Each structure stands twice: as C-alpha cells, then as structure tokens.
Chains A and B, each alone.
Chain A
Amino acid sequence: MASIYTLQFNSLSSSHRLSSNVVKKHTRTEFALSYGKLSLNRLPVPRNFELRAVSSDGDHHHIKTEIVAVARQSKSPPVARFQEIVSSLPHVAFVMEKYGGSSFAIWLCFATAFLVVVVKVYMSRKSRYSPAGTVADLVRRGQLRSDRRGILQPLKYEDPFNNPMVKVGKGNSTIEMCGKVYRLAPVTLTEKEQATHQKRRSRAYQWKRPTIFLKEGDSIPPDVDPDTIRWIPSNHPFATIASDIDEDVAQDNMYQKHGVPFRIQAEHDALQRKLEMLQNEQKLNKIVIDSSNAKDLERPFKFNRKSHEPAEQNPFNIQSSNSRPPKSDQAPNTVGSKSSSEETTKT
C-alpha cells in the first residue's frame, strides 16, 4: 500500500542536535563584489531541521522522527530569515574582534587597490580616446609621414655646445663630464706651421692623377705624361681595360630624371619585337597553300623525276624566306652600342 508522507519542518537551533543520523546540509553563501575582484565565502552555518514523516496509513507507531538538515524553504517568513541573519552576526563580530588590529590595514589595501584600478581605467580610456576622422588617424595608419606634420611635437635637440651634462668650471678652465674632470688646453698650431707642413708634403709626395690605364705589355702612347699612366696587373680582380660601358650612354643614364630606365626600355622593346615576330610566323604557318596558285609560282623546268622534289619545295622556301625579317633589324641598339663602344675604345 502506498503511503503518502508529508513532511513537517521545524527549525531547530544548531545547539540542539539530537540524533547521530542528522544530515546536515550546509548552506554556503557566496557573494562577490560587482567588480569581480573580491569574493567572500561565509562560513557554513549548520542548520538542522526536524523532519517528521507522517504516513497516511495510520501506522503512527513506526513514525520515526528524524532530524535532518534540509535546505530552507524559500517560502520561510522574512522575519525568521532576518532573525537567523542576526543570529549569525556574532560570528562575524567574533572574527572582527579577533583581527581588530589589522582591520585598518585591510581597508587601506582595499582602498589602494580600488584607487589603482580606477587610475588604470582612466588612463586607458584617455589613451584610447581620440577625435575621429582627423589627420592624426592618417599618421597613425601610416598614410602620412609624421615627421612632416605639425601635429606631433618635434624632437627637442640639445645644443651640443650647451649640454647640461657638461659642467664648465667657474674659471672656464675645467670641465666636469661623466664623472671625470678635464682641463682645456689651447690649440697651438699656427698658420705658419701649417704652411711649413704643406711645403714638406709637397716635396715628399709628388703624385699626379692617372688618366690612362694600360695593361702590362701595352705600349705607351706618344705625347702622354708617363706619370699619368697607371699599369694594371693582369691578375687584378677589378681590372677591366676594355670598357663594357658606353660612356655617353652611361652619362645619359646618370642624368635621366623621368621615365623608364634605358636598359629596361631597350629590353622591353626587344622583347616586344620578338613577340611580334613569333606572332607573324604563326600567322604565316596557318595560311593554306592553293594548288592552282602554286602552279603559277612554279618555274618552268625540264621533265625530270629528280627535279620534281626541289620544285615542290620551292613555294615553301619562298614563303619561309619572306617570313624572316632581315637580320640587321634585330636588336639594333645592342649591336649599335657594341660597335660604338668598340670605336670609343679604339680611339
């Protein structure tokens, strides 16, 4: 037979624990500050409740009253709740009394931490804040150079002759710098002594700038000062007598201010011509040869079996020869430059 049990709750104080079978359920209350930094765990307060099961089948003799600790029902009256809070206060008061001497220190730490957090938040907000859509955004994004803008503070440059790290003595004869003391000694070189040194050097070192560079074994050109000839050994690592660079072209290249550089342009043009040639060859190869027209192109010849083969090949030879452009047109610049360079080296 099913029995229906109803539960009756009676709250008991923690001091009245009657049975060893008391099941205690501790309620833990955790509360945390809204800033998420501090949390406190209250000590569990054991609450015991008397649980009595009353069966509906009338067998009252077997009712056992078990005192169990159950969670408080949410429907308990607020007054009782408040009473319990008040009753739990002595614990807190007990703790405060025990550690009363350091409460000031604890509150001071809390206040300092709070202040630090507030300052950090303020600084971060200040650094993040910037008026939207200004030139500063362009500089920040790297679109504008900051050193050419007046929005940033220019570097302050200390005068090297008026540096605060250098302390000049009262009589202007001593200088204190980086922990050491120095004395100023005047320079004694006069203009007369300078001129004497120049004369000495002009007598000791007589040198003329070399204008002609010759390899070993070359003959000396006439009307050339031997002092201006520079003899270059054959095993010199950077010796290039034959100039690969056309001087006029090189000078033009140096003075070029706009446009594509000369060599790049020449290579581009050569490549362009080569591509055009290839395209023309491909077009010609696609042309289908008409037999009736081919007969008109044939030369009159004596009937000979052997002569047929070269006659058949003739039209193809004529077409292929027409497709090839003259060789002199290919890469005129490079050839011209080589010839001109050869001429200049000979002169």
Chain B
Amino acid sequence: MLSFIQSPATPFKPLFNFKTLKPPPKPHFSKPIQSVLQWNRKPQLAGETPRVVVITSGKGGVGKTTTTANVGLSLARFGFSVVAIDADVGLRNLDLLLGLENRVNYTVVEVLNGDCRLDQALVRDKRWSNFELLCISKPRSKLPLGFGGKALVWLVEALKSREEGSPDFILIDCPAGIDAGFITAITPANEAVLVTTPDITSLRDADRVTGLLECDGIRDIKMIVNRVRTDMIKGEDMMSVLDVQEMLGLALLGVIPEDSEVIRSTNRGYPLVLNRPPTLAGLAFEQAAWRLVEQDSMKAVMVEEEPKKRGFFSFFGG
C-alpha cells in the first residue's frame, strides 16, 4: 500500500477569492514534508523541533557511537533532517563509523576561532543528503573547560536559525564518563537516550548518569539495552531486559541483539542500518529510531524459546 504524503491536512480553500480576485494567503505549515514515500507508513514526528537528544551511557564501550550513527541514519532515511555532533573533545570516533573521516576538515573549534563558518564545518553524507556530521574538535586541540557547554548552546541556536531551516533532530554523541566532556554534551539537550548493556558494571554507571541527567533538568530519558544475547538470557547467564528495566526504572526505547555485523560495518564505515537484507541489529536500530520519532517506548520484549518440534506431516504444511 503506497501513501503519498504531500502536506499536512488542511481544509479546502478556493484558489482565488472571487470578490477581490486575489489569491488567498498561503497557509503556514510547521514543516513541509518534501519526500515522496514508497513504504507503507512513516513515523509521525512528536515534540517540538529541533529535538536535541544526547546519547550517553557513563561506561565506555557499550555502543553509544554505534547507536548515534545507526539511529541518526535511520532518522535520515525516514526523511527527517539530522545533525549528528561528536561531542568527544579528545577522542573522535563518529566520523570513522560513518565512513566520513577523510571529509572532516573543520570542527567547532575552528568555527569558534573564526577560521571557517559553521556551514563549512558541517559534513554532509553523500548517501543521505539530509544527514550531517559535526565534530567538536580535532584530537590535539583544546577547548577551555566551562566554555564547551556555552559553545554547544550557541551551536544549537545557530543551527536553528540557519537558512536551510532548522534540523529535525540534533543527536549529540556524549563521551564516556561524567567529566567535563559529559557536562559539555548534556548542556543543550532536552532529552536523553541511555545506552547500557545487561551487565552489572554498566548498569551501575547508567544509574549514576541517569541521576546526573535528572539533576541537570533532563527528564525525558529512555534506554537502549545493547549487546543482548538471548541464548545467554535463556540459560540464565545474563540478565534479561526486564531485569535491567526493573533495576533502572527507565522506559525502553530499544533492545539491540549482539551482532558480529557491527564490527564489520565499523571496519567498512558503512552503518548497519544500510545493509540489505537488514540484520537483526539493524532492524532493532530502525525500530528504536521509529520509537524515538514518535516518543514511544517498547511495550513488550522478545524472549527466546525452544523451537517447536515438527511432526512427520509438517513437511506437507500441516
């Protein structure tokens, strides 16, 4: 079933006003949708744009950058304009995952110094033209402590007021830890996605980070449980997703299964969600992006079971 969405529904108005022979004023839409859709349905954007989302975890290596890259590209494929910011001042990785490392010439530090404009520092992805990357700094440059938060706030304001329009989503890839980098990254954010794995160390750090986010005024926090192994959960060697939720008390945005394709996609610089056919992890990222757009959360999780034993006549379709 194809659906062509051209503009939000408006009451019918005549083309011309016959009394004055003047065309009626054009209605002002919040955001004209320009893409012609070929899939069954499109997620309905909820909340005010731009939605500034920080993707954080506390513990390093749980999949923040992978989540940022895949969710960001999924949002771009849905037709939304996305700006992904790598807020790690010292260690930059998001450009590697996206395969854009050779195209990063300017960063936010150069913009602040006056070496380039903001639009020159934005790297547009050639695969999806509505996805842009912005890095905070190059590895050896310094950003004064306490100044980074202000810089990010100015950055978001500048993106809102740019000529091609405000982006729909601004995703901020937060560095690990709860140090100055974390404080810088969460400064302009309105909502947060907490990435965690089902192990006790990650859960403890995630709980601490959630507390800091709530102290800073960010209340809309959802979690993504990454690197889930359903076979280990079945064998009770790993905490289940429901156990994780019980410990943290956060709404579930997505459950990403462990997938070796993640490493291959990192090596290629080709995010997982672009694979055809999609992998399990890629599907899960797309679903998480869908829920992020609609500000929804998971209502059920999948638990692995033993496959049904097929009888003799099952071969014939019984």
Contacts and interface: CB of A to CB of B under 8 A. Distances in A.
A160 B280 contact: no
A201 B290 contact: no
Interface string B30-42: 0000001011110
Given A240-B145, A250-B112, A209 B183 contact: yes
A250 B147 CA distance: 10
A263 B113 CA distance: 7
Contacts of B129: 145, 147-148
Interface stretch (A46-54, A171-179, A304-312): A171-179
A186 B250 CA distance: 15
A89 interface: no
Contacts of A239: 145
Contacts of A245: 112-113, 144, 147
Most A-side CB within 10 Å, residue of B113, B149, B287, B303: B113
A257 B145 contact: no
B268 interface: no
Interface centre among B112, B252, B308 (most CB of A within 10 A): B112
Interface string B197-211: 000000000011011
B106 to A, nearest CB: 9
Given A148-B129, A254-B112, A157 B38 contact: yes
Interface string A143-157: 001011010001111
B246 A230 contact: no
A207 B113 CA distance: 32
A254 B155 contact: yes
Contacts of B39: 156-159
Given A181-B306, A208-B215, A160 B299 contact: no
Given A148-B129, A161-B290, A232-B145, A204 B303 contact: no
Interface residues of B, number: 75
Contacts of B38: 154-157
B154 A255 contact: yes
Interface stretch (B8-16, B18-26, B59-67, B116-124): B116-124
Interface string A228-262: 00101000111111011101011101111111011
Interface stretch (B48-56, B93-101, B156-164): B156-164
A16 interface: no
A165 B277 contact: yes
A213 B216 CA distance: 18
Given A194-B249, A232-B145, A255-B154, A182 B302 contact: yes
A286 interface: no
Contact of B304 (A145, A181, A202, A257): A181
B286 A160 contact: yes
Nearest to B35: A154
Nearest to A208: B215
Contacts of A157: 38-39, 77
B119 to A, nearest CB: 7
Nearest to B127: A147
A200 B155 CA distance: 34
Contacts of A179: 307
Given A184-B300, A232-B145, A189 B246 contact: yes
Interface in B115-155: 115-120, 128-129, 142-147, 149-151, 154-155
B248 interface: yes
B305 interface: yes
Contacts of B46: none
A1 interface: no
Contact of B302 (A175, A237, A247, A256): A175
Interface of B: 36, 38-41, 77, 89-90, 111-120, 128-129, 142-147, 149-151, 154-155, 157-158, 161-163, 180, 183, 187, 207-208, 210-212, 214-216, 230, 242, 245-246, 248-252, 277-278, 280, 283, 286-287, 290, 297-308
Interface of A: 145, 147-148, 150, 154-163, 165-166, 174-175, 177-189, 193-194, 196-198, 201-202, 204-213, 230, 232, 236-241, 243-245, 247, 249-251, 253-259, 261-264, 266
